Structures are given as structure tokens and as C-alpha cells.
Structure 1
């Protein structure tokens, strides 16, 4: 989980640097294309990892992931990092609601309360009417919503598919669509940007693989608290590298959102353990 946090935080910083000379949608294409190349040796050395029988389900997941990536990269390029990150953290909250609506999961009072508090945290960050609702901030909201759909889709996929295959399909299926979108704003990158783009794609691949691995090794409640590492790294980078001002309300709202996300993960783990115990001891 810590490797994932460092990889994704590094990717966000490199996106901000690259976006000074490139459109965010072009960066998305290079992220997907290079990420596919990085994962290719793993795909080729594990025969049967990519199964076309699950193509339809992966297309649905990749579609939401594609929208999330476009919106996230645009938000990182055009909004303060701490603001974009805080809004992005609402994705698990929306995913909980999505699981109720699309997976038929039951929701109880505590989870409803956590969702409401988390939404209040997002309002503290966005402050409708007090802060300008810029395209970057709107993109961050779209990113959170589409990421939530991806989380719901992943939860359904990993029940039967290898987590490595789910990550690989995401890069494979989004490379061509991202090239089509990038073609509308295309300019060839300067030579000095290619190493940076290669690092962005590599960081994305490492982040996706290590995150999937983390969730396969431990319960979400055990590893989600470590996501504070990503919050700290990205917020610190915004201040130290890009001269962004420390906004107390943004930090407070982000902390509320992250705390409710962790609470939901812990609560879901407790419920899952209770269900397992009840099934193992029916008497």
C-alpha cells in the first residue's frame, strides 16, 4: 500500500510538470500506452492471465476507469493538488452508495451517517458559492464519481478474475480510446518530455499492481489508513514544489473525507467477520 501511495503521488507530481507543456488528455494516452508496455512482460509470461471470456465485464470497468483517468489528469493539471486530492477521496463514499444501488448491498444507519459526514467534508473542500467552480474542480468531482463506478466494478470482477488481469485490461482497453481523444488536442511532445511521460506510465502501472496486491493480502480496514501517506505526499508537493498555499478548510475537509472512508472500510470488515463467524457457527 505504501508503494502504491508513493507511485501515485509521484505520478500526480509528474502530471503537473508535464501539463505545463502538454494537454492533460495527451498525458492520459502516454500513461495508458506506456503502462501497457510495462505490463506486457507480465502478461506474456503468464499464459491464460488475459481471458476473453471476461472481456465484456472488463469493458464496463475500463469505461468508467477511462473517464476517471481523463478527469483526474485534467483536475491535477488545472486545480490545486490538495483540492483535487480531497475531492478524489470521496470516490469510496460514492462507491458505497453504488454498491447499494447496483450490487444490492444493504446499508445501515452507521454507513448512512458516514456517507453524510463524508459529503459534508466534500462541501467544506468545494465550498459552493465561496470558491470559483473552475473546470479543474468540476473535473475532480467527475473523477470521484467515475472512480466510484470503477471501484464497484472491480469489486465484482475480482471475485472471479485475477487482480493482475483486471489491472492489465484497464491499460489495454483504454489505450486506443485515449489516443482518439488526445488526437483532438495533439501536438508532438518536446524531446525532453518523453522520459517524464515514460515515468508517468511506469508509476501508473506500479501503483495499480501494488494496490491490487495490497487488497489481495489484507483487509481494506488494515491498509486504508496508510493512504494518509499519499495525502501527505501530494499535499506537501503542492506546497513545496508548486507554491500552493495551505488552505486550512481544504485540509480539514480532506481529513473528514479520509476519516469517513477509513471508518466505512473498518465497519465493512467488522460486518464481514460477523457474517463469517455466524456461517461457521450456525448453532
Structure 2
């Protein structure tokens, strides 16, 4: 396990089975030095999520984003089924209300993200989406009673300043796609707060699976209002969207399982670069300096918030765990 994993986290989690991600990639990463595994999983999640965004834009030419969310959940859950069969106790939980709360905010965030990707410049939508941890920090203070001090307040303010740089109020029109990206960031923050409550007791794989299970019937009902059968050439895109969603979420969970957030968060810049490249090369989007600068401010502030959270967590860690880490 990576250097950032405490004994309690070692007991809580077990390695992902080979069927949950491509077996060859799973074996390749497991052969890497311990300190490189967390970043490698994070980079894999970046490729999965960036690919998914490109596929969403392509599939939205045929189907409504509200229908795409249903297929994302259906094929994503299908991709997770082998893992469920290998781990029959994975769905056992005593915290179903928290899972429901996470899924409720998660499905709103997913709808808004899919709509934003379909109707706004992808790099802009992603830069706004990166502000979710900033809203989550505020939510943790308001709903979980966490205390926030000067440095973290400063990081939050810098992050929100980055959002303003991206949006350039008065210069960039507030289109429905941009508005959806903003709502996605806020609702994603509520999901992050719920996940923070869950990962202390539930396996991260369970948290991922429950989100797909709870979101599937709701997305099926909503999809009926925009229902249209996909064209034959759209089906492979839909299957790939579901697989990318499942692989991306599991890979990111694995990254945070193996390493502290401060060790893997900087690698999320890869996702920003990939999404920007996809937008430019596939959809003729322009490279916007304001988006790059604002996105860098937002991402930098979230990395610093992760660093401060790790510092605080280490200062509160029992002496016995500190001693164990030193061995």
C-alpha cells in the first residue's frame, strides 16, 4: 500500500478484483513501485473521464442528454456486475439514507454535467466543474460543523476568483450550458460531502455501486420524456460511456485508497489537458487563455485545500497510528 494509507484504511479496503478494470492495466499498475500506483490510477481515471466527455458530445448529436444519463447508468452498472458477483457482500450497508442523499445530488450533477458537455465549450464546463471541492468545503462547514481557518478561506476565495475568470461576467453570455455546469459544481459538492461521510465506514467500491443502483431507476423514468431509440452507430458510444464512467469512478477511488489526496490531486491536470485537446481537435473549440488561467486557479486552490486537509488530519491522528506509519 502507498505511504499515505493508514492501518484503518488498510482494514477497510481490499484490492479491486481484476474484472473491475481491464485486467492487463490492473496487473501493470500493481507491478509499479508503491508510490507510483496512486498517481497511475488517477491518470487512468483522467483518461476514462476525458474520453467519456468526448463520447457524450458525440452521442448528444443523436440523443438528449437526459437519455444519455440513463444509458450511462445502465451500461455502467452492467460493467460493475462482475465485481458484484465476485463480492456478494459488497452491497451490505447500514447507511442507506446517506447513499440516497449522495445519489440524489449525484443524479442532478450528472444531468447537469451531461447537458453542459453537450451544450457548452468542454474546457469551460470542466473548469467550472473543478470548483466542486470549493463548494464542498463550504458545505462541510455548514452541514458537518467543520472549522475553517485563514489559509483554507484564502484558498476558497482564490478558487472562486478562478471561476469568475473563466466566466468573465458581462463578457461571456450565461447560456443554459454554462448555467448547467454551475449547478453541476454545486450539486457535485453535496455528493462529495456525502461521500466523505460514507468512506469512513463503507468500501469505496460499495459507494460507487450504490450510486449506479440508486440512480438507474430515476434516470430510466426521466428518460421516458425524451425517449428515442439510438441510431445503430450510437450504440457503441453508449456502451463506451457506461464503461468509462465505471472505470473512471473505480480508478479514482483506487487512487485515493492508495495515496493521500495531496499525492494524486495534481495529476487531475491531465484531465483538464485531455478535455481541452478533445474540444480543440474533435469539435473545433478555441483555446481560451481566460479558461486556462481560471482553471489553473481553481485546480490549484483545490490541491491546496487537499493539502491543508491532510495536514490537519495528520495533526489529529492518534499517536499509535503515527508510530505505525514510522515503522
**Both structures adopt the same fold (TM-score exceeding 0.5):** yes
**Residue among 240, 245, 248 paired with 1:207:** 248
Where in structure 1 do 4 or more consecutive aligned residues deviate above 3 Å? 277-281
1:138 paired with 2:187, answer: no
Residue 283 of structure 2: aligned partner: 242
After superposition, the C-alpha distances for 1:185-241 in whole angstroms (9 at most, x for unaligned) are 111111111111000000000001111111111110000000011010001111111
Compute the displacement of 1:8 (Å).
Answer: 0.3
SS at match of 1:262: helix
SS at match of 1:204: helix
Q: Distance in 2 between matches of 1:102 and 1:176?
A: 28
Residue 118 of structure 1: aligned partner: 159
**Residue among 148, 158, 164 paired with 1:107:** 148
Residue range with higher mean Cα deviation, 153-162 or 55-64: 55-64
Residue 315 of structure 2: aligned partner: 274
**Residue among 270, 273, 278 paired with 1:232:** 273
SS at match of 1:184: helix
After superposition, the C-alpha distances for 1:144-174 in whole angstroms (9 at most, x for unaligned) are 0000000110010010001000000000110
Provide closer, same or farther for how the CA distance between residues 152 and 179 of structure 1 changes in structure 2, counting only shifts above 3 A: same
**Residue segments in structure 2 that go unaligned for 5+ positions in a row:** 1-41, 323-327
Q: Distance in 2 between matches of 1:142 and 1:216?
A: 28
Residue 189 of structure 2: aligned partner: 148
Q: Distance in 2 between matches of 1:96 and 1:82?
A: 23
TM-score normalized by the length of structure 2: 0.84
Residue 66 of structure 1: aligned partner: 107
**Residue segments in structure 1 that go unaligned for 5+ positions in a row:** none
Residue 29 of structure 2: aligned partner: none
Query: Contact 2:93–2:202 at 8 Å: present in 1 too?
Result: no
1:80 paired with 2:121, answer: yes
Residue range with higher mean Cα deviation, 123-132 or 162-171: 123-132
How many pairs does the alignment contain? 281
Residue 230 of structure 2: aligned partner: 189
Q: Distance in 1 between matches of 2:127 and 2:164?
A: 11
**Residue among 283, 295, 310 paired with 1:254:** 295
After superposition, the C-alpha distances for 1:115-134 in whole angstroms (9 at most, x for unaligned) are 11111110111112211100
Q: Distance in 2 between matches of 1:9 and 1:215?
A: 19
Residue 264 of structure 1: aligned partner: 305
